[in-house]
């Protein structure tokens, strides 16, 4: 019997067993790039699931230009960054504002540009906005964090100020990271990338570098007191976690309040991580991915003492970007699930997490063939997603 026939038969048997247990087979059916073994059951290719509640989606607009980040304003409208440097407001009707002026110049080459965005918890009173962007400086570019006040007429950002720069600078256009969100104490978490090049990769492991990290700073850009490396010689006090490759997703679990991230692997090895203070997430020492050329990475190990395992990983890659936990009652079965916009995967991934393990995965809107860059929960309980192709989606119960 041919090998392909045997593989097909095995897949049928696994699928039958899955259906018999009341679950679906894994949503990923393509062959992995490597033969690496997961550290625990369900770490990759977990059981498939399917939403039972009738839901639908609508394209609100196709008028955006390479949107990157989206967040909700108190009145339910959406504040959206466009990679080339524009900030826009979208009504739920799909109507877009004119570009908002007053932001610092961005370097939009490669993966750079105007990136993640969030608003102050007290925005209704102070109208403060915080964002990340790739900034030209002597010696290259930084992932930088800025803040400013949205004017009363919403035409401009007033008093834009850069509050933090992820150093060192690098002459490259890749792996800026760039997500930003507030914690419950009113401080900021910011993600950075290790800038991709072989020469910068080791800085993900270096505590004297801001590259390949999750950063924890105040709204003035200062290290948060009590950060894990505070007072440690040779370590940047703003670092919260390290050993990351390119973190484009950050979100807090709505029940536990714990921080989760996602990051791009190389060829395979995209990850979801439970981010904890002071922990090392392994890149480039351990990885479930291989080089884009097909060569192995480093010492070809996936586990090492002192380095954290991802909660979940994908092989082949789905290119995870912006993400959010769902806390609405609109679709109860989605409650506390994680939704991740996927670029090369061209879908929104829904992950069911129980006891810090992924026990179910579903792919939403895969029929749209869009590169989903960010997803957020709106004030109305619906999900809103933006795509590289310029679309804004609303996803809600029918």
pLDDT band at 7 (very low <50, low <70, confident <90, very high): very low
Is residue 378 domain-resident?
Answer: yes
- Active-site amino acid positions: 175
Residue 273 domain flag: yes
Total number of domains constituting the chain = 1
Residue 355 domain-assigned (yes or no):
yes
Instruction: Please answer whether residues 325 and 337 qualify as being in contact, where contact means their C-beta atoms are separated by less than 8 angstroms.
Output: yes
Q: How confident is the model at residue 23 (pLDDT cuts 50, 70, 90)?
A: confident
Q: Percent of the chain scored above 90 by pLDDT?
A: 94
The rounded distance, in Å, linking the Cα atoms of 243 and 191 is 12
Q: Is residue 16 part of a domain?
A: no
At 255 the pLDDT is 97
User: Does position 21 have pLDDT exceeding 80, yes or no?
Assistant: no
**Residue 280 has what pLDDT?**
99
Model pLDDT, residue 75? 98
Contacts 24+ apart (CB under 8 A), 50-53: 50/24, 50/362, 51/331, 51/333, 51/334, 51/350, 51/362, 51/364, 52/333, 53/331, 53/332, 53/333, 53/334, 53/397
- Of 67, 94, 72, 97, nearest to 82 (Cα)? 67
With a CB cutoff of 8 Å and minimum separation 6, the contacts of 249 are 179, 191, 260, 261, 262, 263, 320, 321, 322, 323, 340, 341
Residue 304 placed within a domain = yes
pTM of the model: 0.94
Q: Using the predicted structure, report yes or no on whether residue 20 has a pLDDT greater than 70.
A: no
Query: For the chain, how big is the Rg over CA atoms in Å?
Result: 21
Give the phi and the psi of residue 88 in degrees, each rounded to 5: -130, 155
Give the pLDDT of residue 1: 41
Give the model's pLDDT for residue 379: 97
Calculate mean pLDDT across residues 326-341.
Answer: 98
Note the pLDDT tens digit of each residue in 232-271.
999 999 999 999 999 999 999 999 999 999 999 999 999 9
Taking only the tens place, the pLDDT of each residue in 84-130 is 999 999 999 999 999 999 999 999 999 999 999 999 999 999 999 99
The CATH number of the domain where 105 resides is what?
A: 2.120.10.30
Quick one: 75 exposed, middle or buried, by C-beta within 10 A (0-12, 13-18, 19+)?
exposed
Percentage, residues of the chain above pLDDT 70? 94
Residue 5 has pLDDT above 60, yes or no: no
Residue 31 has pLDDT above 50, yes or no: yes
In this predicted structure, the answer to whether residue 217 has a pLDDT above a threshold of 90 is: yes
Tokens of 380: 């109305």
Structural domain including 373 reads: 31-397
Task: State residue 389's pLDDT score.
Answer: 98
Q: Is the pLDDT of residue 12 over 60?
A: no
Predicted confidence at residue 121, as pLDDT, reads 98
> If you ran DSSP here, which 8-state letter would residue 278 be given?
T
For residue 13, is pLDDT > 90? no
In a domain, 21, yes or no: no
What is residue 362's predicted lDDT score, i.e. its pLDDT? 98
- Asked if residue 307 belongs to a domain, the reply is yes
Does residue 13 lie in a domain region? no
CA end-to-end span of the chain:
48
Mean pLDDT over the full length of the chain = 95
């Amino acid at each position: 019997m041919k090998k392909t026939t045997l593989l097909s038969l095995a897949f049928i048997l696994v699928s039958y067993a899955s259906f018999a247990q009341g679950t679906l087979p894994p949503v990923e059916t393509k062959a992995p790039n490597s033969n690496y073994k997961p550290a625990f059951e369900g770490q990759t290719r977990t059981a498939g699931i399917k939403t039972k509640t009738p839901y639908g989606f609508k394209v609100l607009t196709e008028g955006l230009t390479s949107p990157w980040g989206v967040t909700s304003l108190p009145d339910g409208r959406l504040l959206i960054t466009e990679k080339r440097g524009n900030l826009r407001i979208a009504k739920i009707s799909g109507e877009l504002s004119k570009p908002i002026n007053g932001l610092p110049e961005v370097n939009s080459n490669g993966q750079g540009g105007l990136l993640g965005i969030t608003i102050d918890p007290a925005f209704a009173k102070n109208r403060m906005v915080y964002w990340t962007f790739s900034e030209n400086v002597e010696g290259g570019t930084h992932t930088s964090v800025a803040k400013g006040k949205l004017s009363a007429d919403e035409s401009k950002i007033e008093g834009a100020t850069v509050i933090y720069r992820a150093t060192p600078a690098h002459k490259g256009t890749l792996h800026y990271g760039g997500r930003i969100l507030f914690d419950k104490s009113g401080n900021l978490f910011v993600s950075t990338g290790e800038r991709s090049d072989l020469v910068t990769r080791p800085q993900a492991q270096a505590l004297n570098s801001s590259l390949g990290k999750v950063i924890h700073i105040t709204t003035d850009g200062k290290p948060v007191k009590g950060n894990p490396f505070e007072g440690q010689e040779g370590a940047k006090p703003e670092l919260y976690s390290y050993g990351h490759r390119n973190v484009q997703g950050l979100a807090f679990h709505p029940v536990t309040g714990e921080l989760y991230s996602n990051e791009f692997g190389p060829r395979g090895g995209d990850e979801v991580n439970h981010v904890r203070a002071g922990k090392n997430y392994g890149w480039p020492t351990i990885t479930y991915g291989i080089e884009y050329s097909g060569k192995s990475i480093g010492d070809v190990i996936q586990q090492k003492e002192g380095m954290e395992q991802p909660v979940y990983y994908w092989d082949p890659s789905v290119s995870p970007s912006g993400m959010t936990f769902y806390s609405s009652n609109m679709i109860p079965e989605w409650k506390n699930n994680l939704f991740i916009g996927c670029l090369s995967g061209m879908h929104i991934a829904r992950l069911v997490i129980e006891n810090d393990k992924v026990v179910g995965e579903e792919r939403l809107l895969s029929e749209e063939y869009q590169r989903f860059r960010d997803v957020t929960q709106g004030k109305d309980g619906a999900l809103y997603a933006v795509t590289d192709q310029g679309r804004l989606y609303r996803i809600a119960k029918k």
